[in-house]
Chain A
Amino acid sequence: MDQVSTLTSTELLLAGMAGMFLLALGLIFFFLAYQRRIIKQQKEHQAKEAEYQQQLMRANLLSQEKERNRIGKDLHDGVGAMLTTAKLYFRHLDQEVAPEKFTELKEKAFGLLEETMVSVRRVSHDLRPVVLERLGLVEAIANTVDQINHAGDITVEFKHSEETESDKEYQLNWYRIIQELITNTLKHAGANVISIDLKGTAAQLQVIYQDDGVGLIQGTQPKSGLGIQNIESRLGLMGGQLEFLEKEGSGICLRMTSDLRP
């Protein structure tokens, strides 16, 4: 009996020691395996993040090229053509013509120069809006909103808090973002109303943009469009972010935030 209990004690002790050793070994393997898994996940996440940043950069470059092409076309087809025609009229003015003909040619040439100046102003405004430069972001958006409301196709409601002083480049970025959103709504959404709510705090600028259009296409990722990627790219430069919010009824609702300055 004593021998049996002693043997059992031996087995128990040895089993206990071996068991503790195996438990510790198991714990070590678990930690090592889990740590490798975490690192693998981190690397995958970093790769996805890098790919996404590249996509944003590509979208940004594409957008810039598109803009340059449009401006180039405007200058060539609009301004260039008008100046060429004006030159022809001035050439005729040089020759000896009847006074009535001279006046007619002179009026036409001045008319063309007037139109050329309007086109150049428009192109220049597109490149760098004067209202934004002189009066700030709120006035620039208000000006754009007024122009659209005046056209009568769609109603744009613009609410804003007291204007917060922000960096000039950031203001331009925000202006472009609002322009992009409005253009998208006008082109694709078929909306009747756009609502823009701009709020500034001591540290951040927030814009909530909503429309009552068709909303996002079913089955697409919210951030897959070139326009949205452009917006994200601009927001990213300002330390900001873009969120798609739930909205009652049809349309989209975006909340965008950014820092006020670099």
Chain B
Amino acid sequence: MSSEKLFFTQDNLTLLRSLSYYLIFLPIVISIWRVRHLRDVQWMILLIVIVNLINESISRLIFQQGVNNLWIFHIYVPLVFYLTTKLYSHRRIGILSKKQFKYVFLLFLTVNLINTAIFQPLDSFNSNSVSLASSVYMILSIVFFYRMLRKSEDEFILSRPIVWFNIGTLLYYSATFLLFMVVEQIISNRSDILIAAWVLNALFYCVLNVCYSVALWIKSQH
């Protein structure tokens, strides 16, 4: 049996999914511990983590009932998009102006609603919206790094929470972009591809939450 088949199994997927779910609690525990040191950017990151936790918890609960839980993502994706783009439009970060943030969010919301209404209804996974959101996040995170280079601020760039948030965002959404692009095509095919892909997704989600944890752990100098 190939190592691939040994690793990408249903059992491993269940294990990793559980791990990635419980790892969401890590940034929350850290933020409770460091609550006095949290700055406004970190509060916004914490809000995103909380929304992630609520989404994961509710979707797991509903799934365990044997009911279709995919409608949750139709609410979750635009909500996280709103919070993430709002974070990037924060005055300390300044990747988007307030006006740009408004237009970007409204445009995304419109596309999302049209997608839900016409292409991917509530009982199906809104991979189109997720792919679009992932593209925007990747662009925003790359622009952030580019602006960071142009400004050339201080040496301890990794002491800024937003940098860790940005690292996590770029890593996770780059890695899973391809998955969300083709998930519709592979859902109806062999399940072993799906299992392999979701195993990797769970792994990358762990990386994302570790980065969020570091972002909330850091005592912001700014």
Check B193–A35 contact: CB distance below 8 A.
no
In this assembly, does A27 line the interface, its C-beta being within 8 Å of a C-beta of chain B? yes
Check B186–A20 contact: CB distance below 8 A.
no
In this assembly, does B117 line the interface, its C-beta being within 8 Å of a C-beta of chain A? no
> In whole angstroms, how far apart are the Cα atoms of A42 and B196 in the complex?
47
> In whole angstroms, how far apart are the Cα atoms of A35 and B153 in the complex?
9
From A11, A17, A23, A31, B200 is in contact (CB under 8 Å) with: A17
A-B contact pairs, 13 of them (CB 8 A): A13-B178, A13-B182, A13-B186, A17-B178, A17-B179, A17-B197, A18-B175, A20-B174, A21-B204, A27-B142, A28-B170, A28-B171, A35-B152
Q: How far apart are B150's CB and chain A's nearest CB, in angstroms?
A: 9
Within 8 A of A (CB), among B178-199: 178-179, 182, 186, 189-190, 192-193, 196-197
Closest residue of chain A to B146 (Cβ to Cβ) is: A31
From B149, B186, B204, A38 is in contact (CB under 8 Å) with: B149
Q: How far apart are B37's CB and chain A's nearest CB, in angstroms?
A: 24
Contact A14 to B204, CB < 8 A, known contacts A21-B171, A24-B175: no
Check B193–A6 contact: CB distance below 8 A.
yes
In this assembly, does B72 line the interface, its C-beta being within 8 Å of a C-beta of chain A? no
Which chain A positions have C-beta within 8 A of B152? 35, 38-39, 42
The residue in A9, A11, A18, A21 that gathers the most chain B C-beta atoms within 10 A of its C-beta is A21
Check B192–A10 contact: CB distance below 8 A.
yes
In this assembly, does A225 line the interface, its C-beta being within 8 Å of a C-beta of chain B? no
Check B175–A36 contact: CB distance below 8 A.
no
Closest residue of chain A to B145 (Cβ to Cβ) is: A31
Which chain B positions have C-beta within 8 A of A32? 157-158
Check B148–A31 contact: CB distance below 8 A.
yes
Q: How far apart are B43's CB and chain A's nearest CB, in angstroms?
A: 24
Contact A14 to B142, CB < 8 A, known contacts A35-B152, A35-B157: no
Counting contact residues on chain A (CB < 8 A from B), the size range is: 20 to 34
Which chain A positions have C-beta within 8 A of B145? 27-28, 31
> In whole angstroms, how far apart are the Cα atoms of A35 and B149 in the complex?
6
In this assembly, does A214 line the interface, its C-beta being within 8 Å of a C-beta of chain B? no
Which chain B positions have C-beta within 8 A of A27? 142, 145, 170
In this assembly, does A34 line the interface, its C-beta being within 8 Å of a C-beta of chain B? yes
Check A14–B200 contact: CB distance below 8 A.
yes
Within 8 A of A (CB), among B105-155: 138, 142, 145-146, 148-149, 152, 154-155
Check A6–B190 contact: CB distance below 8 A.
yes
Which chain A positions have C-beta within 8 A of B189? 6, 9
Check B174–A23 contact: CB distance below 8 A.
yes
Chain A residues in the interface with B (C-beta under 8 A): 6, 9-11, 13-14, 16-18, 20-21, 23-25, 27-28, 31-32, 34-36, 38-39, 42
> In whole angstroms, how far apart are the Cα atoms of A258 and B124 in the complex?
71
> In whole angstroms, how far apart are the Cα atoms of A39 and B204 in the complex?
31
- B contact residues, total (Cβ < 8 Å): 32
Check A10–B193 contact: CB distance below 8 A.
yes
Lowest 9 A-B CB distances belong to which pairs? A21-B175, A24-B174, A31-B145, A16-B178, A20-B174, A10-B193, A38-B152, A24-B170, A6-B190
Closest residue of chain A to B167 (Cβ to Cβ) is: A28
In this assembly, does B20 line the interface, its C-beta being within 8 Å of a C-beta of chain A? no
> In whole angstroms, how far apart are the Cα atoms of A32 and B167 in the complex?
11
> In whole angstroms, how far apart are the Cα atoms of A31 and B167 in the complex?
11
Closest residue of chain B to A31 (Cβ to Cβ) is: B145
From A13, A38, A39, A42, B197 is in contact (CB under 8 Å) with: A13
Check B186–A17 contact: CB distance below 8 A.
no
The residue in B146, B175, B182, B196 that gathers the most chain A C-beta atoms within 10 A of its C-beta is B175
In this assembly, does B176 line the interface, its C-beta being within 8 Å of a C-beta of chain A? yes
Closest residue of chain B to A30 (Cβ to Cβ) is: B145
Check B177–A36 contact: CB distance below 8 A.
no
Closest residue of chain B to A36 (Cβ to Cβ) is: B155
Contact A20 to B175, CB < 8 A, known contacts A35-B157, A39-B155: yes
Q: How far apart are A219's CB and chain B's nearest CB, in angstroms?
A: 36
Q: How far apart are A194's CB and chain B's nearest CB, in angstroms?
A: 45
Which chain A positions have C-beta within 8 A of B196? 10, 13-14
Closest residue of chain B to A10 (Cβ to Cβ) is: B193
> In whole angstroms, how far apart are the Cα atoms of A20 and B154 in the complex?
29
Check B192–A6 contact: CB distance below 8 A.
yes
From A6, A20, A25, B177 is in contact (CB under 8 Å) with: A20
Q: How far apart are B206's CB and chain A's nearest CB, in angstroms?
A: 12
From A13, A31, A36, A39, B179 is in contact (CB under 8 Å) with: A13
